[in-house]
Structure formats: C-alpha cells, structure tokens
Structure 1
Amino acid sequence: MDRLSTLLVHFGIGADTFHSGPLHGALDTHDLQQRGRVYLLKEGQAGLEMPEGTLRICEPSLIVVPRPLPHRLVAGKADNALVVAASLRFDGGLDNPLAVALTDSIVMPLAQIPMIAGTLDWLFSEAFAEHCGREAVMNRLFELMVIQFLRHMMAYHSMTTGMMSGLADLRLARAMTLVHNHPQRPWTVNEMAVESNMSRASFAAHFHKVVGQTPADYVLSWRVSLAQKRLRDGRPMALIADEVGYESPSALARAFRRKIGTSPREWLQAQAPLRERQTVQPA
C-alpha cells in the first residue's frame, strides 16, 4: 500500500533553488508568490523569524515553511551560516492537500533524518561546485528530499493531526489511501470502517481524533481538492463530477460551495490573478 504516490501524482512538488552559500543578512519573503520555502542550514547558526517569535537554530537543520507565510531566515557574519534554499511549488497552490497537512513551520536537525542523508550529500556537493546543469540537478534533489522527508514524517509519526497523521496510522491508512485512489466510489463511513477492519463507531471516533475531521468531511475535502486541480487544468465540470464521485455537475457544485464557500466558476475566476502574478514574477 503506497500512501504517498497518489498524492504526489495529483499534487506534485516542485522546487526552485534561489540561494547557496554563506548567509550574511536575511532571506525574506517579499517574492513568495504563493510558494513555500525550504532551507538547509549546513553549518553555523541562524534565526528563523516568524510572526509568533524567533527560533534560534544552532545545528545543521532542515527548515520547511510549506505555505507563503511571512518569515525571515537571518544570520550575521559571526554566525558562519552556510545555507542552501529553494522555493516550493505545490501543484494546486494553497489548496494542495500536502501543503495544507503540514504545520506552519518545521525545523528538524539533519542528524534526526538519516533517510535523507544520501540526498543531502549529493545536494551539498552540487551547491558548492560549478558543475554543468547544477541548478537543475539541485532543484530535482530538493524535490526528492522533500518526498523523503514526508516519508520520514509518516514513519516516525511526526504529525499530531491532519492527513499526514492519518496516513501514518496503519489502522486508517488503508481506508484513506483507497479514498485517494478511488474518489469516484460512493464512500460511506461503514465502508471505510470495513476497509480498516474496525467497527463503524470505533473507526469514526478514531478518525476524528487522529485526522481532525469526520470521515465524511475528509472525503468531501479530498474530492473538492481534486476538482480544484482539474478546474485549473481546464477540464469540463461534467467530466470532473464523474471522476470525483458526483452524479452531476450541479451536485459537485453544491458540494464545492459547501466546502469552499463559492461556486466552482467563481473560485476559478479568482485564481486567474494569482496565476498571472506567478507567471510575471516567479519566486
């Protein structure tokens, strides 16, 4: 049972390297353009400034800010900070279920993530050399590293609630993965409970405790996320409705409005200015 591949097929991750070398000053977020950030502090110290305060980072660490939240990574000359950084593009933008599932910021010492050690060695060797195609290789390595980090998060139950926490729970993961793979099926709480080998009541209570949503709300959220991606891709509502489990475009539109608060047409129109800004001034 592959808990990540379907997510990554529908809602992939892209990276664009924008800094590699010593950090004397600040990497800020004036050009985030609906993107997150990932930083690798290879040596030295730095401070992560977030609206709720500043975290001092004193050992080699991975820093992930998955959504375009105001923040700065700051270091003075005496900190001897050596940093590699990239912006993160989640397919589906702010509605990407992976981006939504992560906390506002994650800071983890590299020594605690042995799963990514080989990728880090390769990434750092590219970052501080002058090989041909260096930036393209670094971008792909950042993407690979993020996927490996998501694996680590699930393997070590590093999330306390949300989709990633549910996928890390082996009692829930089968039902959730089946929902991801087959959104068109008429899922009921009882059917999901059967797939998890639990009673309906136990499954519903455990799902809500771990994921933070009822099973029905989660199915709705997943279907609407898929519909949003397909709308961006230009697919017609009739096809989308069938693909994500609704008997008609109007049924999908009602579910969409219940979840998002607007009609699919209104939502798609609101996305156009965001896509234009991203095209004109990429992060």
Structure 2
Amino acid sequence: MPDRLVWLLRHFNLRARVFQAGVLNCNASFEAQSGLGYLHVLKSGKVEITPQGHDPILVDDPSVLFFMNPTQHRVQPAATGCSMVCATFEFGLDEGNPLLEALPELTLVRLGDAPILGLTLRQLFTESEEDHCGKQAVLDRLCEVALVLVLRDLMDQHRLDVGLLAGLADTRLARAINAMHAEPNRNWTLEALAGEAGMSRARFAVHFRDTVGMTPGDYLGEWRVGLAQSMMLKGMPLKSVAGEVGYGSASALSRAFLARRGKTPTTWLREHGTKCSP
C-alpha cells in the first residue's frame, strides 16, 4: 500500500518541543493554546491525566498520551513521582488540518499494545537521561517520530472507527484518499474516486461517508481549502494556490474558502499576521 501519511506530513509541518524530561514529582497544569497539542510519554510510575470537564485517567504502565487539539488538562504524578517526557507540538494549522479533526480529544496508546514504538521511545528515554550536545534537538525530533509512529499504529491496528485515519486504515478507501491528496487539482468525480477504490459508485459513497464521517465531495473540499491555507501561509499568491488546489481562479477559491471557513482568505491571513498576495 502507498504511504498513507506522505501528503499530510508534506503539506502540514509537524514540529515538537520537549519541555519536561525526567522525574516529575509535582502537579502540572496546561492551558489550551491555539494550534498547540500536547504529548506525554510515561516511562515509569503512575500518573493521573485530567482533561478539563472529564474524570481523571489513571496511567500506571508505560504509555503515550497525546492531545491533538488544544485541551486544558492537569497532570498529577503519584506520591512517589514518575518519569515522563512531555512536549508541545504543532501540526501546521490550528484549523483546516484534517488530522486535527480526525482524532479524539485524548489518544492513549499503551506501549505493551504497540511494540513498534519501543525502539524510538527507548532512544527518547536514553537521551533524556544523559547530557549531550544537541540534546534538545534530538528530543524534539524523537518526539516527532513518536507521534508519526502513533498515527501509524492507530491505522495499522484499526483503533479508530470513524475519521480520516479510519479511512486510511481501509485499503480501498485509502487508495481514493491518497489520490485526492496527491492530485487535489484534478476534476474528481464520484465515479473516478470509486474507480480508485475498486468499488461501485453507490457502495463507495456510503462506505466513505460511514467510515470517514463526511461525503467524498466534502472531504475533497476540506482537503483543498486546508491545503490552500498551508500554501498561503508559506507566501504563495492566491492565484497560484487556486490552480494548485483545483480552483479555476482566485475568486473561485475565495468563494470556497468563505463557505468553509466563514471568512475570506485575506481576512484569515490577516488574523495569522500575513498579507494575502493576489
């Protein structure tokens, strides 16, 4: 099967920043900050994670927990403390990123259930306990690798029932989704997408909606606008972006953008401190 994450990782930049590495023996609270997710990796000990408005979750064996979307939460180690690596991360966009909308508020993967994470996390823990030059950069990169491996595990083990990763976990739907990701500027029809999946038009439409949570047309529209946001943040002019993502003109892209984001590209870019190039 082709790489199911290649286009997401190419267009939406993943960046992590480790701020805790080692023994944690006091409570810590984390505010919801726009565009920031949180990653917590428990090496040993026990810890309670309490998202705002939810009951505490006790984690008492090595695990990876991450909040993909900005979520206020509290981390409370057991009286004897615990060993943890914690990081913030960004995934390119605080809205319009399909991964941000595809995952639950909190994702918990116990390492005993995901051996694929073992080697990377052993390196992460080793680096966190030693004092070498470039330590911060290595910790940050290893956390980024860990996040990608968690996403891979969620797909490979079919841990999610609905959403983008559930769609990418389905061999037939993944072919259609990858095709949209690779060629957003193509004039995709339902028949053409069903052909990519090797399914009938009617069966594909129902299966896609039930698995991904939206129609193929809606997903394609969201992908195109999200991709346009990423390109505009990199300074690409609106007219060029429109052609790249499948709209015949800058005005056509602006209309689609307004319909899906409730604001024009110019307004959205201004809110992100960037000017819109025509």
TM-score scaled by length of structure 1: 0.93
Aligned AA (2:98)? P
Give the number of equivalent residue pairs. 272
Percent of residue pairs bearing the same amino acid type: 38
Q: How does 1:70-81 map to 2 (within 5 A)?
A: 70-78=72-80, 80-81=81-82
Which string of whole-angstrom CA distances, capped at 9 and with x for unpartnered residues, describes residues 206-264 of structure 1?
Answer: 00000000000000000000011112112111101000001111111111111111111
Partner of 1:193: 194
Partner of 2:203: 202
Question: Conserved in 2, the CA contact under 8 Å of 1:11 and 1:97?
Answer: no
Cα shift at 1:193: 0.4
Q: State how far apart, in whole Å, the 1-side matches of 2:117 and 2:95 are.
A: 26
Aligned AA (1:187)? W
Aligned AA (2:257)? F
Cα shift at 1:31: 7.5
Partner of 1:260: 261
Partner of 1:149: 150
Partner of 1:114: 115
Aligned AA (1:59)? D
Q: State how far apart, in whole Å, the 2-side matches of 1:27 and 1:36 are.
A: 16
Cα shift at 1:150: 1.1
Partner of 1:9: 10
SS state of the match for residue 172, structure 2? helix
Question: Conserved in 2, the CA contact under 8 Å of 1:23 and 1:77?
Answer: no
Q: 1:77 to 1:109 in 2, by over 3 A?
A: same
Partner of 2:61: 59
Q: State how far apart, in whole Å, the 2-side matches of 1:33 and 1:220 are.
A: 23
SS state of the match for residue 42, structure 2? strand
Which string of whole-angstrom CA distances, capped at 9 and with x for unpartnered residues, describes residues 80-133 of structure 1?
Answer: 311111111111234322222211101121111111111011110001111221
Give the 4+ runs in structure 1 shifted more than 3 A. 30-33
Question: Conserved in 2, the CA contact under 8 Å of 1:23 and 1:76?
Answer: no
Give unpaired runs (5+ residues) of structure 2. Answer: none
Q: How does 1:118-267 map to 2 (within 5 A)?
A: 118-267=119-268
Q: State how far apart, in whole Å, the 2-side matches of 1:173 and 1:266 are.
A: 34
TM-score scaled by length of structure 2: 0.94
Cα shift at 1:77: 2.8
Partner of 1:23: 24
Give unpaired runs (5+ residues) of structure 1. Answer: 274-283
Q: State how far apart, in whole Å, the 2-side matches of 1:227 and 1:34 are.
A: 17
Question: Conserved in 2, the CA contact under 8 Å of 1:11 and 1:98?
Answer: no
Which string of whole-angstrom CA distances, capped at 9 and with x for unpartnered residues, describes residues 36-80 of structure 1?
Answer: 1101111111111112221111111111111111111111433x3
SS state of the match for residue 273, structure 2? helix
Q: Return 54-63 or 214-223, whichever deviates more.
A: 54-63
